Amino acid sequence: MKLTGRRGLTATIGFIVLGLTSAKASAAPVQASFQPAVQNISYSLPQQSAVAVANAVPTPTTGAVQATVPAANPLQLLSNAPAMMNQPLPLPLGQIVQANMGGALDDQGICLATAVYFESRGEPVEGQLAVADVVINRAASGRYPSDWCSVVKQKAQFSFVRNGQFPGIYDVAAWHTAVGVARTAILNLAREVPNDVMWYHADYVAPNWRHGLQEVEQIGAHIFYRA
């Protein structure tokens, strides 16, 4: 297109300016600003004391988030514990017997220790204590004499007794053990058979009287019975 004259000159200048502007616009980088579609979320948690936070106990989760539950006061938990938790663990019977070997005995205690010595020396301390328990059970039963010496010396009950008399004691170590066993039984520090067990015999004999009784258990070389 050919343009002449003043109007043509003006149009020509306009085209030149437009071209320059378009070229500048196409060369300029595109500056676009994007705002991320993420919202800042703020959480407000209830205020707890330092003690409550320290004592919080997490609960197990099963896919969903579980809340934490404040634990009870530890001192309160201890105060509600079973009484046995405050008790010392029991000593083995052998240690209890040994700790009581040096104690004194009165006449009734000597009769009890004498029965233990002659009936069960050489047995484990459990078997010796069971013999002491039987003597004590008989005296408390109402079916036998009410004191230990009379129980032990009752006619035809303990074979080591001769005419109501005890033989001499010669094994000092075994006697000390019998004293410890007797004191253990007297002080009720331990028991081997229940209160209703009042008969026993050696396992190498089979007396007829056992047929009317209920066998409880064998301890060492003796078998124990109740009615």
Measured CA to CA, the distance from residue 106 to residue 112 in angstroms comes to 10
Higher pLDDT, 66 or 221: 221
Average pLDDT on 156-181 reads: 96
CB under 8 Å to 144, separation ≥6 — which residues?
138, 150, 151, 154, 198
Measured CA to CA, the distance from residue 60 to residue 26 in angstroms comes to 62
Measured CA to CA, the distance from residue 27 to residue 23 in angstroms comes to 6
3-state secondary structure of 9: helix
Does some domain include residue 169?
yes
Q: Which domain holds residue 165?
A: 93-193
pLDDT tens per residue across span 84-141: 445 566 899 999 999 999 889 999 999 999 999 999 999 999 999 999 999 999 999 9
Does some domain include residue 155?
yes
Does some domain include residue 49?
no
pLDDT tens per residue across span 11-65: 444 444 334 444 444 444 434 443 444 444 343 444 444 444 334 444 443 444 4
pTM: 0.62
Is the per-residue pLDDT at 76 higher than 50?
no
Domain at 161, CATH number: 1.10.10
Does some domain include residue 159?
yes
Is the per-residue pLDDT at 74 higher than 70?
no
Does some domain include residue 118?
yes
Does some domain include residue 83?
no
Measured CA to CA, the distance from residue 200 to residue 216 in angstroms comes to 10
Does some domain include residue 42?
no
Does some domain include residue 110?
yes
Domains: count for the chain: 1
